[in-house]
Amino acid sequence: MSRSDFAEFLIARRAQLQPETVGLPAGRRRRTPGLRREEVAALAGVSADYLARLEQGRDTNPSMAVLGALAEALRLNEIERHHFGQLAMSMEQKTSCPASGQAREEVSETVQAVIDALQPTPAFMIGRWQNLLAYNPAWRDFAEPLGLFDDEIHGNFAVYVFAHPAAQKVFLNWSALADLVASALRAAQTRFPDDTAIESTIATLSRYPEFDRRWREHLVTDRRSLVLTVAHPLRGEVEIEVATLDPAADQTVMVWLVDRRQVRSPGLRLVNE
């Protein structure tokens, strides 16, 4: 991860804010979208020159007070604040990032047993770059008709979401799924800066405008749960509750509760070790 990621996040968030959102008059037409640097600096109580140094990567050690003030000025939510803090820490503490290095692709027998034990509830595991690592028969039965096992996606869930022609047709709220996948990749890049495999993954996905836009905006969303609506070729319209176990892990188990009523069933317990 380059040192410019923190600066890019600042610039991207500033561009996404509108004057009226923060109580400022819109004024005349602006040459660039979002707030001016001087406006964000004033809201955060820092000088415009200091904010310029942060955005240009010339200052890499902002204080906690400054980070808090900038997070408030940029109207960051809880998830975005956490990501913002990780970016700030990573500028000077790259070597202390947990579990850095190359991604683990092998699935332990214990984890595979957990996934199998969830049968008949569809469950699968993805790696940090969204590679499909393991699944149970129920998930394959549900996912295969959607195209998730087609050769052209190379076993990668993110490639399916952004590149497969069926994805936007079968996932009726595809945009929410695309947000989640792009956010997961962004979080993985921040947490595992030494894994060079991210470069090829991002290069592949950046050819698709919907991913490229989300990546340039530094999109960060809550990845713990999501409701998806699927137009399944064999089962008709299905509503899925997606539960993500330990979304910050190197390997992540995802459970698709095809019947959302199961979420409230006392017989279903999701165990995360």
pLDDT at 100 over 80: no
Q: Which domains are seen in the chain, by residue range?
A: 4-96 (1.10.260.40), 109-264 (3.30.450.180)
The CA-based dihedral angle spanning residues 10, 11, 17, 22, taken in that order and rounded to the nearest 10 degrees: 50
Backbone angles phi, psi at 49, to 5 degrees: -65, -40
Interatomic CA distance for residues 259 and 144, integer angstroms: 18
- Residue 53 tokens read as 């140094």
Comparing 14 with 248, which gets the higher pLDDT?
14
Sole residue written with tokens 């500028």: 91
Least confident of 24-38, 43-57, 136-150, 217-231: 24-38
Cα 219-95-130 angle, rounded to 5 deg: 40
Comparing 100 with 173, which gets the higher pLDDT?
173
CB 122 within 8 A of CB 255: yes
28-42, pLDDT tens digit by residue? Answer: 667 777 898 999 999
pLDDT at 200 over 60: yes
CB 205 within 8 A of CB 118: no
pLDDT at 9 over 50: yes
Least confident of 59-68, 84-93, 177-186, 207-216: 84-93
Interatomic CA distance for residues 88 and 7, integer angstroms: 9
Average pLDDT, the chain: 86
Neighbouring-strand partners of residue 160? none
